[in-house]
């Protein structure tokens, strides 16, 4: 259905209107009663949050002051349909900046922006305000201190998002004056505030995983953060300046503007205030950026391989490491002079409001996982699980030291199993004997004696052990009977597969098990616990594929056997 508007109605369109900053702009436009607002976004229908339902947006939608239009910017006909009858367009749509996929970024930020410009010209839109990014002037290597709009685009950008945003921005400024269309570009720096779905949630997730204690770089890099309401206010200021006519609109149009809170702060101090306000510890351990970069490249490579199978976009990427360790501050003088922009919410007030809005993510409100994790259940949920999952750091480090000692004393020396076992028993015997003859106290320290009961096996324990042996034997006999009958090809293939795996495993030397197997054991279970859903999703897809192939092979090879 094509949006309709009467001559008396003044409509504006907000592309990507369900995004973080765009939601705040929509509500501000409704409160100011400047325009009737048309939200254009990808979803086929709008889904309001409970707070929105009972708030300004829900009321405006029920009264007809706000409309929703499903539109893909990559489809020009959909864009033209969404813009019909509009006087102003706030072009805020863009893919997630953390997704370093050039094809996706280019299709939306460049080709989609071309469609927006063409649709504005074709439908008679008078003013077009584009939400750009300060990253368009950032090369990912050199920091920026008090940067101005006179800075040129770098020859190479930090990532695909920044490069394509720069292309889109250039298109917007070149379109100024085309068929009476006035344009300008807003470059808000590091947006934060209530409703944020990236910065604070990822920060809390890192804190709960024990990863927020690290500072990437020296921790002294300065940053300009912008409270989301100030970003919305900047868009309104830009629209008002373009609509003023005369020298004001001519000076304001065709230009780009940095937008900040005008209160530079150390990046890691800002993060610390958010974490501390939510009840988590401040980061304190500094890691040089050059140490993190190789790890970030590996993470990015893994995402490229597993992304199509459901892996979530990682937070640790090379471009993000550069962003976290460089200084980036910008001068807003031009926006102040030509747009009349000034922050309406101070930085500390914005931080306070942000913390209050995320009270459900505070340390005290963290909901504990019901029961054991899947990784813990696989490991038996006892001391082994606690050790390999790093639940008890002291216990894990003790186990690592013991294993390293075993490796250097028994494995690295080339000992056979018999000699290694003999050495271990010899060391144990000497330790137990010396421990036994030591006095109960030495220099005031109590020596705890090992009671003989520690080596005693109770009747219940021996009974359970016997039952386990008998059960295992009966299961083996049952399996042998099934093989003797020769009518279960699926079971036969499973047995062959398991025995082949065991034969390969038996060929692995003790040295390889220690050097390769043990480090993997201390990492792989921990990774699985943290990324359980993503890994299970990938494995489910692989299992489904394997089962399908297995069934096809079984039908071809043994299909006729079933009917003999």
Per-residue pLDDT reduced to its tens digit, 279-305? 999 998 888 888 888 888 888 788 777
Of 333, 323, 328, 182, nearest to 257 by C-alpha is 333
Tokens 């890994």 -> residue: 535
Of 150, 497, 191, 201, nearest to 333 by C-alpha is 150
Mean pLDDT of 143-147: 95
Catalytic residue among 81, 165, 368, 530: 165
pLDDT at residue number 423: 76
Task: Please tell me the number of Cα atoms within 13 Å of 558 on its side-chain side.
Answer: 12
pLDDT at residue number 547: 66
Cα-to-chain-centroid distance, residue 150? 34
Of residues 87 and 364, more confidence is placed in 87
Lowest-confidence pick of 30-39, 352-361, 394-403: 394-403
Cα-to-chain-centroid distance, residue 511? 37
Q: Inform me whether the pLDDT recorded for 477 exceeds 70.
A: yes
pLDDT at residue number 563: 41
**Other Cβ atoms within 10 Å of 54 Cβ, number:** 11
pLDDT at residue number 127: 97
The answer for residues whose C-beta is within 8 angstroms of residue 403's C-beta and 6 or more apart is: 514, 518
Output the CA–CA distances (angstroms, integers) from residue 200 to 272, 373, 495, 531, in the order listed: 12, 25, 50, 19
**Greatest mean pLDDT among 254-258, 376-380, 482-486:** 254-258
Cα(260)–Cα(257) distance, integer angstroms: 10
Percent of the chain past pLDDT 90, that is, above it, reads 48
Of residues 29 and 300, more confidence is placed in 29
Classified as helix, coil or strand, 519 is helix
Please report the domains of the chain, with CATH numbers, ordered by start residue.
Answer: 11-365 (3.40.50.720), 371-416+478-530 (no CATH)
The two structure tokens encoding residue 252: 């304001």
Name the pLDDT band for 251 (thresholds 50, 70, 90).
very high
Is there a catalytic annotation at residue 165? yes
Cα angle 283, 288, 292; round to 5 = 90
Output the CA–CA distances (angstroms, integers) from residue 58 to 3, 45, 493, in the order listed: 19, 14, 60
Name the pLDDT band for 457 (thresholds 50, 70, 90).
low
Name the pLDDT band for 440 (thresholds 50, 70, 90).
confident
Mean pLDDT of 553-564: 54
pLDDT tens figures, 262-271:
999 999 999 9
pLDDT tens figures, 339-394:
999 999 999 999 999 999 999 999 876 544 445 666 676 766 667 777 777 777 67
Cα(7)–Cα(148) distance, integer angstroms: 41
Output the CA–CA distances (angstroms, integers) from residue 422 to 247, 381, 428, 508, in the order listed: 94, 31, 10, 22
């Amino acid at each position: 259905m094509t949006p309709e508007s009467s001559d008396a109605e003044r409509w504006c369109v907000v592309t990507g209107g369900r995004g973080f900053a765009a939601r705040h702009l929509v509500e501000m436009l409704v409160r100011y009663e400047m325009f009737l607002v048309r939200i254009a976004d990808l979803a086929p229908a709008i889904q309001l949050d409970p707070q929105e339902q009972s708030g300004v947006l829900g009321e405006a939608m029920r009264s007809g002051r706000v409309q929703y239009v499903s539109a893909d910017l990559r489809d020009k006909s959909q864009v033209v349909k969404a813009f019909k009858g509009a006087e102003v367009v706030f072009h805020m749509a863009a893919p997630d900046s953390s997704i370093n996929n050039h094809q996706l970024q280019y299709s939306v930020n460049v080709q989609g922006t071309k469609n927006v410009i063409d649709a504005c010209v074709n439908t008679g839109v008078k003013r077009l305000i584009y939400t750009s990014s300060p990253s368009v002037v950032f090369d990912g290597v050199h920091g920026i201190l008090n940067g101005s709009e006179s800075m040129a685009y770098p020859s190479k950008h930090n990532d695909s998002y920044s490069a394509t945003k720069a292309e889109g921005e250039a298109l917007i400024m070149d379109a100024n004056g085309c068929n009476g269309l006035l344009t300008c570009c807003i470059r808000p720096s590091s947006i934060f505030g209530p409703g944020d779905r990236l910065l604070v949630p990822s920060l809390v997730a890192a804190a709960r995983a024990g990863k927020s204690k690290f500072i990437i770089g020296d921790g002294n890099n300065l940053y300009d953060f912008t409270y989301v309401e100030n970003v919305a206010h900047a868009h309104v200021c830009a629209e008002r300046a373009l609509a003023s006519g005369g020298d004001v609109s001519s000076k304001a149009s065709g230009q780009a503007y940095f937008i900040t809170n005008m209160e530079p702060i150390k990046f890691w101090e800002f993060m610390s205030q958010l974490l501390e306000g939510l009840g988590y510890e401040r980061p304190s351990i500094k890691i040089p950026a050059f140490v993190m970069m190789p790890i970030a490249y590996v993470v990015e490579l893994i995402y490229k391989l597993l992304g199509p199978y459901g892996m979530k976009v990682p937070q640790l990427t090379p471009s993000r490491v550069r962003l976290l360790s460089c200084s980036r501050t910008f001068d807003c003088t031009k926006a102040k002079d030509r747009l009349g922009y000034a922050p309406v919410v101070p930085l500390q007030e914005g931080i306070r409001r942000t913390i209050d809005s995320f009270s459900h993510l505070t340390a005290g409100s963290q909901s504990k996982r019901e029961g054991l994790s899947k990784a813990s259940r696989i490991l038996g949920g006892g001391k082994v699980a606690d050790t390999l999952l790093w639940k008890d750091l002291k216990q894990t480090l003790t186990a690592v030291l013991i294993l390293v000692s075993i490796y250097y004393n028994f494995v690295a020396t080339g000992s056979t199993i018999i000699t290694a076992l003999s050495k271990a028993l010899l060391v144990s015997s000497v330790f137990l004997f010396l421990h036994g003859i030591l006095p109960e106290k030495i220099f005031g320290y109590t020596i705890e004696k090992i009671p003989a009961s520690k080596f005693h096996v109770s009747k219940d324990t021996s009974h359970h052990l016997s039952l386990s042996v008998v059960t295992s034997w009966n299961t083996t006999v049952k399996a042998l009977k099934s093989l003797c009958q020769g009518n279960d090809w699926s079971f036969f293939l499973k047995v062959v597969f398991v025995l082949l795996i065991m034969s390969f495993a038996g060929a692995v030397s003790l040295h390889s098990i220690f050097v390769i197997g043990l480090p993997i054991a201390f990492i792989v279970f921990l990774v699985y616990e943290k990324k359980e859903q993503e890994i299970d999703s990938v494995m489910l897809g692989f299992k489904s594929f394997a089962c399908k192939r297995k069934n096809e092979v079984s039908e071809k090879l043994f299909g006729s056997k079933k009917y003999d």
